[in-house]
Amino acid sequence: MTTTPLALEVDSTDQRRSLLKETLRSPIALGSAVVLVLIALAALLAPWIAPYDPSASDLSDVFAPASAEHLLGADSAGRDILSRLLHGARISLGGALVAVAVALLLGVPSGLVAGYYGGAFDVAVSWLSNLLIALPGIVVLLALQPMTGSSVWTSMVVFGILLAPSFSILVRSTVSNVRNELYIDAAKVSGLSDLRIIRRHVLGVVRAPIIIQTAMILAIALFIQAGLDFLGFGDLAAPSWGGMLNDGFANIFRGPHLLVWPGIVLGITCAALALLANSLRDVMEGATSSGTAGRGRRALVHPTEDAEDALPAPSTTALLEVRGLRVAYSTHGQEPKEVVHGASLRVEPGEIVGVVGESGSGKTQIALSVMGLLPDGGRVTGGELTFEGNPLDPRSTEKLLGRSIAYIPQEPLTNLDPAFTIGRQLVEPLRVVGGLNAAAARKRALELLARVGIPEPSRVFDAYPHQISGGMAQRVLIAGALSGDPELIIADEPTTALDVTVQADILDVLRDLQREQGMAILLVTHNFGVIADLCERVYVMRDGRVVESAPTRTLHDAPREEYTRMLLSHILEHGPSRTALDAEVAEEVRA
């Protein structure tokens, strides 16, 4: 029923994985969850499963050790410890849950509204949050004790209010990040109400962090609740874990086991909550990182022999020669994925050579391999790289970079350090690499800036990167590339981030410089217009292989490969205008 069968690269493991289900795969998380469920069940079923009434004291059993009659022994009033633990769980867990519920009720909506709408409400909420965070929780609870009395529930409600900022701040920051996503704009344009946008697009994003935070906060609330009871501020008549600790502490020498059991239960519960929260976080972070890496798109590395015999004979004149280059990336625990499969190219001294291809064709990988700058996980797995006849290895490359080989990157502004002036960034390599003194380096830097067509070199020299435009920044980087008097400049999409008028200026600068100084340029780009403007020879890449190489004019006029023809046919510049296109269609309809 479909018209165009498109090859969808599908990740088979990739269904909507519920956070919880995924988390429970880890044994630690599963163990923690089981412990928590058991404790919760014990608390719920306490009246039915507890062997004794928790308040029933039997003076003959005071400080009784563990026995068949009292499995965990009895306390200072001869009450059964196991029964008190079971019943105590109701108050301890219940109190913690009340605090967390209050914190959620206050924190989540306020964070949502503050993050989504911003404005005055946001300011007010942030101010209040900061104030509450600054208050020391336990001290406030103690100070309020005369008002809250001995009721666990009241003091836990107050504690919940104190905890609310931790949710509010979390939700606010998550939401204000999401608010700027284009899909929120698209939803607005689709006519969705704010309520629906928040429900459909925003809540989904904040849900997981909230769950994790809840587990953490539960542990804290449990601890604080027990702490209050331990200090004797709770209702001592009702059994609670903190109250039991208090009793045990008072009688630490007569009945040390009084302290042990509530301590263990409290510790286990808090540890289980913290471990579960950690596992949830791991899964959530893992999901985002492995999701984009595309687990399913695994291409096994099978060293293919076909490219080997097609290797060109080594050239004697070439400045840079790449023969049969293979580059592979390995991500943790997976088989390395080869992205360049035996590519060869050559740059003669003083020649401008282009490498053109679509995204993912491996063109940038070649440039990075030459400079030994492959990102983490990537490495050269085969082939030879030589510069002036000498093999390029990490050590020799390091010596050549900044001297014989210079690099012009794609994003000019991100390649300048915002903390230093342009001048400082130009002078430093001149002094370190070029061995010039401060005055000579400054003079040379100003010359270089003038050389790349910057009208007021001294003004740019003193400027910080944020004070100059992208085109100016690219000129600065070209000036920097020139500082080592290079024989080869590697330019990776040097004009892609720039406007066309600026691009034309930058291409002019590169052309003039090459003409004057006679260095070679290896230019990586996706743009055939840039190739036509600058390059003498060009390599066309596809899927990690060089498919065709020819002088630029020959390639344009008479491409040999089907792929090159296909690429060229998709160039729009000489296509008919829309008016002409419509006229064609009208003609067809008439015929």
Question: Which positions from 531 through 590 interact with another protein, judged by CB under 8 A?
Answer: 531-533, 552-553, 556, 566-568, 570-575, 577-582, 585
Site for another protein in 288-327 (CB under 8 A): 291-292, 294
C-alpha distances out from residue 393 to 16, 120, 349, 369, Å = 45, 59, 20, 10
Among 80, 487, 505, 548, binds another protein (CB under 8 A): 505
Give the nearest distance from C-beta 579 to another protein in angstroms: 5
Q: Which two tokens stand for residue 459?
A: 């003004």
| Shortest separation between residue 430's beta carbon and another protein, angstroms | 23
Pairing of strands 537-542, 352-356: parallel
Closer to another protein at the Cβ: 198 or 436?
198
The backbone torsions φ and ψ at residue 344, rounded to the nearest 5 degrees and listed phi first, read: -125, 140
Which of 50/530 has CB closer to another protein?
A: 530
Q: Which stretch binds another protein (CB under 8 A): 37-45, 380-388, 438-446, 467-475?
A: 467-475
Residue type, 287: A
Among 8, 59, 120, 439, binds another protein (CB under 8 A): 8
Which residue from 569, 563, 416 is spatially nearest to 478, judged by alpha carbons?
A: 416
Site for another protein in 443-462 (CB under 8 A): 454-456, 459
The least CB distance from residue 406 to another protein, in Å, is: 21
Tell me how many residues contact another protein (CB under 8 A): 79
Distance between CA atoms of 509 and 530, rounded to whole angstroms? 13
* 469 in contact with another protein (CB under 8 A): yes
Identify residues 205-244 at the interface with another protein (CB under 8 A): 205
Q: How far is the CB of 139 from another protein (least distance, A)?
A: 37
DSSP 8-state assignment for residue 64: P
Q: How far is CA 200 from CA 107, 211, 417, 528, 531, in A?
A: 19, 17, 40, 43, 46
Answer for which of 182, 300, 419, 591 binds another protein (CB under 8 A) is: 182
> Is residue 500 involved in binding another protein (CB under 8 A)?
yes
| Closer Cβ to another protein, 238 or 523, answer by number | 523
Q: Is 120 in the site for another protein (CB under 8 A)?
A: no
| Distance of alpha carbon 276 from alpha carbon 97, whole angstroms | 16
Tallying the residues shown for the chain, one arrives at 591
* Residue 201 lies near another protein (rule: CB under 8 A): yes
Cα–Cα distance measured from residue 480 to residue 412, given in angstroms and rounded to the nearest whole number? 12
CA distance 352 to 537: 7
> Closer CB to another protein, residue 319 or residue 535?
535
Q: Do residues 492 and 410 make contact, with C-beta atoms less than 8 angstroms apart?
A: yes
Can residue 503 be called a binding residue for another protein (CB under 8 A)?
A: yes
Class of residue 215 by CB neighbours under 10 A (exposed 0-12, middle 13-18, buried 19+): buried
Q: For residue 298, which of 343, 341, 328 has the smallest C-alpha distance?
A: 328
Among 200, 254, 298, 565, binds another protein (CB under 8 A): 200
In the complex, the smallest distance separating the C-beta of residue 578 from another protein, rounded to whole angstroms, is: 5
State the minimum distance, in angstroms, from the CB of residue 350 to another protein.
Answer: 18
Site for another protein in 332-391 (CB under 8 A): 358-359
Distance in angstroms (rounded) separating the CA atoms of residues 474 and 409: 8
| Nearest of 489, 520, 528 to residue 356 by alpha carbon | 528
Closer CB to another protein, residue 270 or residue 502? 502
285 lines the binding site for another protein (CB under 8 A): no
